[in-house]
Chain A
Amino acid sequence: MSHMQSNKISNLQFTLFIASTQIGLGILYIPRDLMRVAGTDGWVSVILSWILATTANLIIIQLMKRIPGLTIRTALQRYCGKWIGGLFYLFIIAYLIFFSFLIVSAAVFIVQVWILQRIPAYYIMLLLVAPIFYLCCKGVKIMGRYVEITTMISIWMPFLLFIPLYRGNLLYFLPLIKDGLLPILKGVGSTLFFFLGFEMTMFLYPYLETKEKASFNVIVANTISMSVLMLVTIVNFSYFSPTQLMDTLWPTLSLLRIITFPFLERLEVIFLSFYLVSFSTTWVTYTFFSIYGLTGLFKRSLLPKHFFYFLALFVISSFFFTLSYNDIMRYVKYSNILGFFVGYVFPILFISYLYFFQDRIDRRRQTCDQKK
């Protein structure tokens, strides 16, 4: 317990933690997916999925309130038994590991395509992994501060997107709701995954200082992510023609290319470099909680060497293979499905299980303890 006591994070940090974990790879490709599925009405899907994600997030908060003083692992093992609980936990951890590897590889891929074409992948990987290692070793408190700093560093970036918006064509949004509700509902399918990252609430909640405000905090966090996604979506939709957007692989980066200054061309390179900083919070969070979960599962204490081995695997793997664009998109799809179960399905299942059985199990435990 002392680990948690010394690692409290403030409510602001908690909010930014969730928001910046959510804002990741998604804003680079989701507008394109959305256009393919939902057409120009895709922005409605953003709002709908925001409502869904916030609800899911509040359910997680309610879940954590039901098990005060416990982490998700101890709660699972207490109420579901060592094996079944452990299995569920392993599933969550597997998702975290898979996703953290995927997202770092995706970052390497994007850097290689857009900025450093001639630098080998393992080199970029090495450079990206080093700060992750440092932050992870220091624990949640320092990571919380890091998140605050990255937010401050990257706060100007959304405003940059207003420049293409100025050249955009808002006529595309008319008429509102073009082809009925079905495409919009389909669009929710792809935007729902943008909000993944809020499942970190399960792990962060025990570290939170003032737990009463947690519900409010997650609403704010989800709203921040929603407004960023909304801005990106609207800018992309109005700047590109629908068919053009469907054919553009990284639309958000492509549209930044139109911004030029007399002394500067290809602004997207600079944007991307800064974006990596804010992107890094996602890797750091996922990596930390992957190892945190693994060591917890095997009853080991959290040591820097665990992170070292884990991240070394990243670098070594990048020696042997690098992911292509299609690989990344395929794996993102898989991880989204996993994430859907972890973020949306699992909390509902667990909380309804607790609703019915928590009292009974607690009572039985108490009588057992008294007998001893």
Chain B
Amino acid sequence: MRPKKMILLLTILSLLLVSCTKTDIEDQTFSLLSGIDKKGNQLYFYSVAPVFHAEAKKKIEEYEVKSHTMRTARNEFDSRATALSMANKLQLFLVGKGLVKEHNIFALMDVLYRDVTSGSNARVVMVDGPVKDVIKFAPENRPRLPIYLTKLIDAAYLRNLTQRVTLLEFQWQMIEPGITPYITEIMLDKQGIKLKGIALLNNHGKYVNSLDLNESVMLSMLMRKKQGTYSLTVPIKKGDDKVMNKYMSATYTSVKDKVKVSMREGHFHFDVELKMDANITESIHLVTRDRNYLQVEKKLKKILDKDFKILIKKLQKNKVDPIGYGLYAQAYQYKNWKKIKDRWPEEFAKATFSLKTNVKFKYPGSVQE
């Protein structure tokens, strides 16, 4: 019985040791935002961390270092920051447009995936312009930059104005052959930080084109993963006088898409049927006194059809497939998919689409003419 008691005692005593390695929050530098950019032929790394010390006036520290890899940059940060820098609370990962245009950033991000301690829910964001300007941006009427940016992106994501892409999702997009990556895009103008929409990357991880806010909403309607609300405004009739234009805004609910894949003349053909209910939120100069909703519905359908077609044409022209039609092709045309698996983006550009939107007015709003 004696060894048993001894071990029990040792175990209990060893639990006390936990208190020996107490760490105060002041002694940790949580890197909440990190970034990479390129100037000339040099890589620049950025890190932003909150400061918890009571004496510090400015509650945030930001660094820019010239280095080779993210790990070497960490040593540089450690040599400057208040305390040990940690990446496990990372919220944002910014990349400069200049870098993404020329290089595959995924290769540079290896440490974020290999090291289990780094947070993998950081949002991947492209900055249209130098990352440095965004890092230095600290107006007085905003919370600390990492918190502000995180909230901005998450809120916009709820309205589908952009997509929130975490590190793990980005890895998925890069590795999965049936989809090409896309990330959030922001920029800094005179009024502050502005969300631009979505940056589209090709399957080599290089930037090719951007989608604006309206296109982002439409893109997210076509995506498999649907969340949040969709609010679109479409011009029904456009004229020279901007005030007299006819507009129709609606929030779209229960958006459902049906995709059928077939082969036509050796290329993929996608039948996409988009069903949704529209709740009218705004109609400018539109609904006439005779309540001719049916006509408006028809018109809206036509316009949406056209807009979606333009969007898909844009994607095809740039040879990017952020919606992931390759996954449908894999699921429904596996034999043909297997042959072209490695060059899906080119094949996607050759594919034909027939798109049908099916809008149903559900609620005309609380005004009835």
Contact B331 A175 (CB under 8 A): yes
CA distance A117 to B120 in the complex (A): 18
Residues of A within 8 A of B327 (CB): 169, 171-172
Residue from A133, A134, A178, A265 within 8 A of B89 (CB atoms): A265
**Interface assignment of B41: CB less than 8 Å from any CB of chain A:** no
Knowing A130-B11, A241-B172, say if A174 contacts B88 (CB, 8 Å): no
Residues of B within 8 A of A266 (CB): 88, 119
CB contacts under 8 Å to B, within A231-278, are 240-241, 243-244, 247, 254, 257-258, 260, 265-266
**Interface assignment of A84: CB less than 8 Å from any CB of chain B:** no
Residue from A137, A174, A244, A254 within 8 A of B4 (CB atoms): A137
CB contacts under 8 Å to B, within A126-183, are 126-127, 130, 133-134, 137, 167, 169, 171-172, 174-175, 178
**Interface assignment of B129: CB less than 8 Å from any CB of chain A:** no
Contact A304 B332 (CB under 8 A): no
CA distance A114 to B14 in the complex (A): 21
How many A residues touch B, CB cutoff 8 Å? 31
**Interface assignment of B367: CB less than 8 Å from any CB of chain A:** no
Beta-carbon nearest neighbor of B15 in chain A: A127
Residue from A113, A117, A243 within 8 A of B176 (CB atoms): A243
Residues of A within 8 A of B331 (CB): 171-172, 174-175
CA distance A308 to B3 in the complex (A): 8
Contact A240 B172 (CB under 8 A): yes
Contact A265 B121 (CB under 8 A): yes
Task: Map CB proximity to B onto A91-133 as digits: 1 under 8 Å, 0 otherwise.
Answer: 0000000000000000000000110010000010011001001
CA distance A335 to B120 in the complex (A): 34
Contact B116 A243 (CB under 8 A): no
Contact A244 B171 (CB under 8 A): yes
Beta-carbon nearest neighbor of A178 in chain B: B334
CB distance from A315 to the nearest CB of B (A): 10
Residues of B within 8 A of A127 (CB): 11, 14
CB distance from A217 to the nearest CB of B (A): 32
CA distance A167 to B121 in the complex (A): 14
CA distance A133 to B7 in the complex (A): 9
**Interface assignment of A372: CB less than 8 Å from any CB of chain B:** no
Task: Map CB proximity to B onto A38-52 as digits: 1 under 8 Å, 0 otherwise.
Answer: 000000000000000
**Interface assignment of B224: CB less than 8 Å from any CB of chain A:** yes
Contact A133 B121 (CB under 8 A): no
Residue from A114, A240, A305 within 8 A of B116 (CB atoms): A114
CB contacts under 8 Å to B, within A298-320, are 304-305, 308
Knowing A169-B327, A257-B120, A257-B121, say if A243 contacts B7 (CB, 8 Å): no
Residues of A within 8 A of B121 (CB): 257-258, 260, 265
CA distance A349 to B151 in the complex (A): 65
CB distance from B77 to the nearest CB of A (A): 19
CA distance A247 to B117 in the complex (A): 18
Beta-carbon nearest neighbor of A304 in chain B: B4
**Interface assignment of B168: CB less than 8 Å from any CB of chain A:** yes
Residues of B within 8 A of A257 (CB): 120-121, 168
**Interface assignment of B158: CB less than 8 Å from any CB of chain A:** no
CA distance A265 to B119 in the complex (A): 8
**Interface assignment of B203: CB less than 8 Å from any CB of chain A:** no
Knowing A244-B172, A258-B121, say if A113 contacts B116 (CB, 8 Å): yes
CB contacts under 8 Å to A, within B1-38, are 1, 3-4, 7-8, 10-11, 14
CA distance A289 to B216 in the complex (A): 61
Q: Is the interface of B mostly helix, strand, loop or mixed?
A: helix
**Interface assignment of B328: CB less than 8 Å from any CB of chain A:** yes
Residues of A within 8 A of B1 (CB): 304
CB distance from A163 to the nearest CB of B (A): 13
CA distance A221 to B177 in the complex (A): 39
Beta-carbon nearest neighbor of A123 in chain B: B14
CB distance from B25 to the nearest CB of A (A): 14
CB contacts under 8 Å to A, within B100-130, are 116-117, 119-121
Contact B332 A130 (CB under 8 A): no
CB contacts under 8 Å to B, within A55-100, are none
Beta-carbon nearest neighbor of A166 in chain B: B225
CB distance from A59 to the nearest CB of B (A): 39
Contact A167 B225 (CB under 8 A): yes
Residues of B within 8 A of A117 (CB): 117
CB distance from A277 to the nearest CB of B (A): 16
CB distance from B142 to the nearest CB of A (A): 20
Residues of B within 8 A of A123 (CB): 14
**Interface assignment of B175: CB less than 8 Å from any CB of chain A:** yes
Knowing A171-B331, A174-B332, say if A265 contacts B88 (CB, 8 Å): yes
Beta-carbon nearest neighbor of A239 in chain B: B172
Contact B88 A130 (CB under 8 A): no
Task: Map CB proximity to A onto B317-344 as digits: 1 under 8 Å, 0 otherwise.
Answer: 0000000000110111010000000000
CA distance A169 to B223 in the complex (A): 12
Beta-carbon nearest neighbor of B179 in chain A: A241
**Interface assignment of B166: CB less than 8 Å from any CB of chain A:** yes
Contact B3 A305 (CB under 8 A): yes
CB contacts under 8 Å to A, within B165-181, are 166, 168, 171-172, 175-177
Residues of B within 8 A of A175 (CB): 331-332, 334
Contact A258 B120 (CB under 8 A): yes
Residues of A within 8 A of B119 (CB): 265-266
Beta-carbon nearest neighbor of B21 in chain A: A118
Knowing A134-B4, A304-B4, say if A247 contacts B175 (CB, 8 Å): yes
CA distance A57 to B190 in the complex (A): 72
Residues of A within 8 A of B175 (CB): 241, 243-244, 247
Contact B177 A243 (CB under 8 A): yes
Residues of B within 8 A of A247 (CB): 175
Contact B7 A258 (CB under 8 A): no
CA distance A278 to B31 in the complex (A): 34
Residues of B within 8 A of A171 (CB): 224, 327-328, 330-331
Selected A-B contacts with CB under 8 Å, 6 pairs: A137-B4, A169-B224, A171-B331, A174-B330, A244-B176, A266-B88
Given contacts A113-B116, A172-B327, A265-B88, 18 further A-B contacts (CB under 8 A): A126-B10, A127-B11, A130-B10, A133-B4, A134-B7, A134-B8, A171-B327, A174-B332, A241-B176, A243-B177, A244-B172, A244-B176, A254-B120, A257-B120, A265-B89, A266-B88, A304-B3, A304-B4
3 tightest CB-CB pairs across the interface, nearest first? A174-B331, A241-B176, A244-B175
Q: Which residues of A contact B (CB under 8 A)?
A: 113-114, 117, 123, 126-127, 130, 133-134, 137, 167, 169, 171-172, 174-175, 178, 240-241, 243-244, 247, 254, 257-258, 260, 265-266, 304-305, 308
